[in-house]
C-alpha cells in the first residue's frame, strides 16, 4: 500500500520551495501583483463606466478625487483594460506554469536525481509535493483575482449600495459577456471554465515536467504552439466551411447580429477547448505519476 | 542486514554485465570496506543497494534482489528508505546556506543529531553560515560527510568519501567515523584509495571480474595470513604474494598455526586478490 505522510509531504514542499525560492518569489510576486492590479482596476472601472452612463451607480456622495478617478473609466477604456487584462493574465499564467514545472529539472541531472530519489519519502509524497508546488500559481492567481475585486468592492461600497450584485455578476464575467451578446451556458460558465482550463493546463504541464524534465518548458511550448496553430488553422477553416455551407448569415443584414453570432461561436469553441484541456489534463495526470515512479528504472541507462 | 541474492545487473545498451548472480551478505554493526579497481562495480553495487538501479533479468528469466532487513529495496518502502543514507562520490549542492540546508533536510531523518553535526563541522573547520554551492570539492565533502554521520541512519553508504579531502582531513575522517558509529549501525565505504581508510574496516568486500571475490572480516584475514617485510633472500615457498617496497619486500604468507597475528596490510592484500594470488 502506498503511504502518504503529511509531515514528509510538507518537508518535501519546503525543500522544493527553498531550492527555488528566488524564482518562486519573483513569479508569485509578478503574477499576484499583476492580476491584483488588473482586477482592482477592472472592478473600479465598471463602476466608473456605470456611473458615467448614469445607470445604477450613485457616486454623488463620493469624494471628488474618487469621482475623477472613476471618470477615467469610459466604456471604451474599460473594454481595453479588460482585453489587456485577459491577455496579460493568460500569458503570465501560462508562462508561470511553465517556469514552475522547472522544478522537475532535477530529474534530468544524475547527481540531483540521486539526491532526490534517495530522500526517505514515498513516490506519492514526492510527486504530490511537486503537484502542489506547481499549483501554487493557480492559487496565487485566484487569491489575487478575488482580492482585487474585494478591494474595489470595499472602496466603492459606501457610495453604491447596488454595487455588490453588479460586482458578483462582473466577477463571473457574465456582465461583460452579456454586453458582447453572449448568452446561455457560455455566458454563465465562462469564468469557471477559465479556472478549469487553468487547472487542466497545470495538469498537462505537470505531466510535461515528468516527461521532459529539464526541457519541459521548451517541448511544452512547442507542443502548445503546434496545437494552437493546428486549432487556429482548422478552426478558421471549419468556421469558413460552416459559414459558406450553412448560409447562416444569408438573411442577416445587421452587422451587429453577425458580430454577435461570431462572438457566440468563438465563445462556444473557447469553452469546448477549455473543457478539453481539463479532460486531457485529467488523462495525463495519472500517467505523470506512473512515469515519476518509473524514474528509478530509467536510472539503469 | 543487507543481502544480495542472485543479483544480475547490466546497463541498458551494454552487453557486458556488471554483476552476474552476485550473492553477498553484509552483516550488522560493522564497518565494511567495499574495494575494487576502477570499473569493478563498486558504485553500481551501492546504487543497487539503495534501490536506485533495478536488477536486470538474467538469461534464465530470473530477477535477483537486494534485501534490507528482509525487505526488497526495489519496492522502495519508506520503512527501508528511512534506514539508509547514501553519500555519492559526486554530488551537487544547492545555493543555500548550510543552516538552511539543515532546516530542509534534517527533518527527513528521525534520529538526526544536531550536536553530532556541529561537532563534525567543528572538527573539519566549517562554519554553519557557509553557502553550499560556493564551497570547494573538499569542503563540500566535509559538509556531507558530517551530515551523513549525523543522520544516524542504520545503514550508511559512502562512495569514495576521501576523494578530494586533504591529508589531515583524511585522518579526521577516520577518527570521526569511528567516533560517530552507533551500536546498531552498518557503514559501507567504497574506495579505491585503500590506504586512506586502512585500519577503519571490520570487514572487506573485494569486487573483481563482475563478482565478489572476497567477503571476509579483518580478524579472519589477520588469522589466516601473515603480513611482513622480508629481504629478497627470505622469500620462501610459503609466501603467497610479494611486492617490492622501501622497507624490503612486502609479503603475504599463510599464517602458521599458533603464530602471532600481524596487522593486515590491506593494500597488499587487495593487490594479491586482484592478481589472483588469493582466492
Nearest CA in chain A to B110: A120
The average pLDDT across B200-221 equals: 91
Cβ distance A299 to B107 less than 8 Å, yes or no, reads no
Distance from CA of B271 to the nearest CA of A (A): 30
The residue assigned the cell 539543515 is B102
Q: Does pLDDT of A84 surpass 90?
A: no
**Stronger pLDDT, A214 or B260, i.e. the higher one:** B260
Residues on chain A touching B76 (C-beta within 8 angstroms): 122-123, 296
Q: Does pLDDT of A288 surpass 80?
A: yes
Cβ distance A297 to B54 less than 8 Å, yes or no, reads yes
Alpha helices in B7-85 (DSSP H): 42-49, 78-81
Measured CA to CA in angstroms, residue A132 lies from A274, A281, B115 at distances of 21, 15, 33
B35's grid cell: 574495494
pLDDT at B270 (0 to 100)? 92
CA–CA separation, B198 and B156 (whole Å): 18
B39's grid cell: 570499473
Cβ distance A111 to B82 less than 8 Å, yes or no, reads no
CA–CA separation, A280 and A287 (whole Å): 11
Residue B88 in contact with partner chain A when CB distance is under 8 A: yes
pLDDT at A24 (0 to 100)? 79
- Judged by DSSP in three states, B106 sits in helix
- Judged by DSSP in three states, B174 sits in helix
pLDDT at A222 (0 to 100)? 74
Residue pair B140/B88 in contact by the 8 Å Cβ criterion: no
CATH 3.40.50.300 region(s) of chain B? 2-208
pLDDT at A147 (0 to 100)? 73
Measured CA to CA in angstroms, residue B230 lies from B194, B220, B226, B227, B277 at distances of 22, 23, 12, 10, 18
pLDDT at A72 (0 to 100)? 67
pLDDT in tens, A134-173: 888 777 777 777 776 677 666 666 555 555 555 555 555 5
pTM of the predicted model, to two decimals?
Answer: 0.80
CATH 3.40.640.10 describes domain B2-208: no
Using pLDDT thresholds of 50, 70 and 90, give the confidence band for residue A3.
confident
pLDDT in tens, B66-113: 999 999 998 888 889 999 999 999 998 888 999 999 999 999 999 999
pLDDT at A265 (0 to 100)? 73
Cβ distance B96 to A19 less than 8 Å, yes or no, reads yes
Q: Which of A11, A111, A123 has the CB atom closest to B76's CB atom?
A: A123
User: What residues are paired with B72 via a beta bridge?
Assistant: B67
Half-sphere exposure of B248 (CA within 13 A, CB side): 11
Residue pair A112/A15 in contact by the 8 Å Cβ criterion: no
Residue B279 in contact with partner chain A when CB distance is under 8 A: no
ipTM: 0.84
Alpha helices in chain A (DSSP H): 6-19, 21-52, 64-71, 75-100, 110-117, 123-156, 163-171, 174-179, 184-212, 216-246, 255-293, 295-298
Residues on chain A touching B104 (C-beta within 8 angstroms): 11, 14-15, 18-19
Q: Does pLDDT of A54 surpass 50?
A: no
Q: Does pLDDT of B204 surpass 90?
A: yes
- Most confident listed range (A177-191, A213-227, B143-157): B143-157
pLDDT at A55 (0 to 100)? 47
Using pLDDT thresholds of 50, 70 and 90, give the confidence band for residue A53.
very low
pLDDT in tens, B104-153: 999 999 999 999 999 999 999 999 889 998 999 999 999 999 999 999 99
- Judged by DSSP in three states, B277 sits in coil
Nearest CA in chain B to A17: B104
pLDDT at A264 (0 to 100)? 72
Q: Does pLDDT of B22 surpass 50?
A: yes
Residues on chain B touching A214 (C-beta within 8 angstroms): none
The average pLDDT across A232-243 equals: 74
Using pLDDT thresholds of 50, 70 and 90, give the confidence band for residue B15.
confident
Question: Order of strands across the sheet with B65-68?
Answer: B19-26, B2-9, B65-68, B71-72
Chain B 3-42, residues with CB within 8 Å of chain A CB atoms: 11-13
Measured CA to CA in angstroms, residue A296 lies from A127, A175, A186, A291 at distances of 13, 52, 45, 10
User: What residues are paired with B36 via a beta bridge?
Assistant: B207
Using alpha carbons, select from A275, A259, A265 the residue that is nearest to residue A236: A265
CA–CA separation, A140 and B237 (whole Å): 80
Name every residue in A having a CB less than 8 A away from some CB of B.
Answer: 3, 5, 7-8, 11, 14-15, 18-19, 109, 111-112, 114-115, 117-123, 296-297, 299-301
Q: Does pLDDT of B23 surpass 80?
A: yes
- Return mean pLDDT, chain A: 73
Using pLDDT thresholds of 50, 70 and 90, give the confidence band for residue A247.
low
B222's grid cell: 589477520
Amino acid at each position: 500500500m502506498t503511504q502518504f505522510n503529511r509531515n514528509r509531504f510538507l518537508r518535501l514542499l519546503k525543500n522544493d520551495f527553498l531550492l527555488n525560492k528566488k524564482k518562486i518569489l519573483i513569479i508569485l510576486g509578478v503574477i499576484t501583483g499583476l492580476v491584483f492590479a488588473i482586477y482592482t482596476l477592472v472592478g473600479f472601472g465598471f463602476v466608473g463606466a456605470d456611473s458615467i452612463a448614469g445607470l445604477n451607480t450613485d457616486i454623488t456622495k463620493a469624494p471628488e478625487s474618487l469621482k475623477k478617478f472613476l471618470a477615467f473609466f469610459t466604456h471604451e477604456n474599460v473594454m481595453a483594460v479588460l482585453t489587456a487584462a485577459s491577455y496579460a493574465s493568460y500569458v503570465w499564467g501560462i508562462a508561470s506554469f511553465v517556469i514552475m514545472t522547472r522544478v522537475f529539472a532535477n530529474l534530468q541531472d544524475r547527481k540531483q536525481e540521486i539526491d532526490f530519489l534517495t530522500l526517505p519519502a514515498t513516490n506519492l509524497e514526492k510527486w504530490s509535493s511537486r503537484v502542489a508546488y506547481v499549483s501554487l500559481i493557480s492559487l496565487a492567481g485566484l487569491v489575487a483575482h478575488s482580492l482585487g475585486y474585494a478591494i474595489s468592492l470595499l472602496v466603492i461600497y459606501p457610495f453604491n449600495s447596488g454595487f455588490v450584485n453588479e460586482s458578483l455578476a462582473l466577477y463571473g464575467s457574465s456582465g461583460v459577456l452579456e454586453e458582447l451578446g453572449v448568452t446561455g451556458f457560455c455566458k454563465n460558465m465562462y469564468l469557471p471554465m477559465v479556472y478549469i482550463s487553468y487547472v487542466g493546463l497545470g495538469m498537462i504541464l505537470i505531466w510535461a515536467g515528468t516527461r521532459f524534465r529539464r526541457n519541459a518548458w521548451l517541448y511544452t511550448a512547442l507542443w502548445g504552439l503546434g496545437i494552437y496553430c493546428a486549432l487556429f488553422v482548422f478552426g478558421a477553416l471549419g468556421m469558413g466551411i460552416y459559414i459558406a455551407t450553412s448560409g447562416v448569415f444569408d438573411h442577416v443584414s445587421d452587422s451587429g447580429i453577425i458580430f454577435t453570432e461570431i462572438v457566440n461561436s468563438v465563445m462556444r469553441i473557447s469553452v469546448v477547448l477549455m473543457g478539453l484541456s481539463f479532460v486531457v489534463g485529467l488523462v495525463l495526470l495519472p500517467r505523470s505519476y506512473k512515469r515519476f515512479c518509473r524514474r528509478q528504472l530509467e536510472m539503469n541507462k | 542486514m543487507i543481502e544480495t541474492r542472485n543479483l544480475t545487473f547490466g546497463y541498458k545498451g551494454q552487453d557486458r554485465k556488471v554483476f552476474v548472480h552476485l550473492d553477498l551478505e553484509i552483516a550488522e554493526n560493522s564497518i565494511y570496506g567495499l574495494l575494487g579497481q576502477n570499473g569493478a562495480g563498486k558504485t553500481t553495487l551501492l546504487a543497487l543497494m539503495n534501490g536506485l538501479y533495478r536488477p536486470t533479468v538474467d538469461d534464465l528469466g530470473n530477477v535477483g534482489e537486494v534485501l534490507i532487513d528482509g525487505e526488497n529495496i526495489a519496492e522502495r518502502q519508506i520503512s527501508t528508505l528511512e534506514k539508509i543514507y547514501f553519500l555519492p562520490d559526486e554530488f551537487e549542492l544547492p545555493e543555500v546556506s548550510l543552516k538552511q540546508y539543515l532546516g530542509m533536510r534534517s527533518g527527513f531523518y528521525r534520529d538526526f543529531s544536531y550536536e553530532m553535526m556541529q561537532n563534525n563541522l567543528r572538527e573539519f573547520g566549517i562554519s554553519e553560515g557557509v553557502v553550499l554551492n560556493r564551497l570547494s570539492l573538499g569542503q563540500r565533502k566535509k559538509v556531507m560527510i558530517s551530515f551523513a554521520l549525523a543522520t544516524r541512519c542504520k545503514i550508511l553508504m559512502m562512495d569514495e568519501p576521501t576523494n578530494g579531502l586533504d591529508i589531515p582531513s583524511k585522518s579526521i575522517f577516520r577518527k570521526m567515523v569511528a567516533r560517530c558509529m552507533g551500536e546498531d549501525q552498518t557503514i559501507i565505504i567504497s574506495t579505491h584509495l585503500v590506504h586512506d581508510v586502512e585500519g577503519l574496516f571490520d570487514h572487506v568486500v573485494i569486487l573483481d571480474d563482475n563478482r565478489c571475490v572476497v567477503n571476509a572480516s579483518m580478524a579472519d584475514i589477520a588469522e589466516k595470513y601473515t603480513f611482513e617485510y622480508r629481504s629478497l633472500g627470505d622469500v620462501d615457498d610459503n609466501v603467497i604474494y610479494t611486492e617490492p617496497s622501501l622497507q624490503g619486500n612486502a609479503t603475504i604468507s599463510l599464517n602458521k598455526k599458533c603464530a602471532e597475528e600481524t596487522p593486515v596490510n590491506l593494500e597488499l592484500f587487495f593487490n594479491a586478490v586482484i592478481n589472483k594470488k588469493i582466492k
